[in-house]
Amino acid sequence: MKHRSLTLLLLCLGVLSCDKVKTLANRAKSAVENKVGEKSLPSAGGAAEPALQKLVDQTPEGVIFRKDLPFPNAIEVTTTLREEFIGRLYQSSAIEKRAEEKKGTKLVVIKLERAGDQVRYTLEQSSFTVLPAEGAPAPKELPADQLKKIAVASKPITYQKSPKGWRCSTSEGFRAAVISKELSPVFDELLKEYSLAPRSLWLGKHRFKSGDQIPVSGTSLPMLLSGMVTGSLNLTFEKTESVQGHPCGVFSVTGDYSRKQFPDFEGNLMDEDVTIESGEIWLSLVYPIILKQELSTIQTTKSGGHGGSTERTQGKIKVFLSRDWKTR
């Protein structure tokens, strides 16, 4: 900033020798622009909802990522995940092993509704579009879990918290009951990962402004990643921006992390080693939740569950994740 201010000063001095009137006008304009810049950080992504914007703690010194507000009791979150994958896919089951080059786009849409101690999960869409070679036929839609031989749930699954943990009713069916038993020990971590519960660790009372950097490693990693995770990430605060009307702060991010045996709502457990070459993440300015990610990564993953087939992937993945987060 000091170098930028010096450059502007030299430019103004150059103009003085030519046209004093023009210089005074430029100075007045610059003063107005600087005053506006003091009131708010650069923002984009459409206007935030007024009720949420009122809760943002922002001064000329920067913004605070709040953690002090009561977390809503009734929430609805629709998560859309798109991954553009180029790499190799390895699959293994009791009857066969196969490996192939893979290029395509995975799309998963999940709806989660929480009302206190009750959570309802719905898998709304799951597909993998295989990208064809030049001159080949149009892409073919395939179920994302086709090779895992696990049927996609045809109806929502409702979980209820009890003294024994999060469980679903036996009326949900055998498969749901099995998944429920596997997820119960880690269900609270899933709620944090999918923004249905506040993250226990957040950014503190520091005011962030553009250019501020923060390293995230060791015991601070749960701020961004749930589960058994190790690694080191580097964040740089860029700007404020709303996501589906929710005010957020945007950080650029690079780094590496490894996470072991982290589940999804289908009961699959995943090991992942991830290098984030570049990307951005959107953190809420009102609650300790993450609402958006756009990342260019190199990943090695291994997933499976239910004692069945396993799947490994190695390659480059562009990740686009967005959450439509609403209180009810």
Check residue 244 and give its pLDDT: 92
| DSSP letter, residue 206 | P
307: its two tokens: 């004692």
Q: How far is CA 181 from CA 166, 169, 190, in A?
A: 8, 11, 14
Which secondary structure element, helix H or strand E, spans residue 9, and what is its range?
Answer: helix 2-16
**HEC assignment per residue over 260-289:** EEEECCCCCEEEEEEEEEEEEEEEECCCCC
Check residue 140 and give its pLDDT: 57
Is 80 exceeded by the pLDDT of residue 242? yes
Select the highest-mean-pLDDT range: 3-17, 31-45, 169-183.
Answer: 169-183
Is 60 exceeded by the pLDDT of residue 135? no
Check residue 40 and give its pLDDT: 39
Check residue 87 and give its pLDDT: 93
Which secondary structure element, helix H or strand E, spans residue 26, and what is its range?
Answer: helix 20-39
Residue 210: CA count within 13 A, CB half-sphere:
12
Distance CA 257, CA 124 (A): 29
CA angle 247, 252, 253 (to 5 degrees): 125
Residue with tokens 């295989």: 130
Distance CA 109, CA 124 (A): 5
Distance CA 177, CA 170 (A): 6
Helix or strand or coil: residue 323? strand
DSSP per-residue letters across 138-176:
PP-EEETTGGGT-PPPSS-EEEEEETTEEEE-GGG-HHH
pLDDT tens string 138-164 = 555 555 544 343 345 458 899 999 888
pLDDT tens string 62-115 = 999 999 999 999 999 999 999 999 999 887 776 777 788 889 999 999 999 999
What is the rounded average pLDDT of the residues 213-238?
Answer: 95
Check residue 163 and give its pLDDT: 87
117: left (phi over 0), alpha (psi -120 to 50) or beta: alpha
β-bridge pairing 310-327 and 290-304: antiparallel
What is the rounded average pLDDT of the residues 29-35?
Answer: 38
Lowest mean pLDDT among 118-122, 181-185, 251-255, 304-308: 304-308
Distance CA 325, CA 328 (A): 10
Is 50 exceeded by the pLDDT of residue 30? no
Mark 30-68 as b/e (b = at least 16 C-beta within 10 Å): eeeeeeeeeeebebebeebeeebbeebebeeebbbbbbe
pLDDT tens string 253-284 = 999 999 998 888 888 889 999 999 999 999 99
Is 80 exceeded by the pLDDT of residue 51? yes
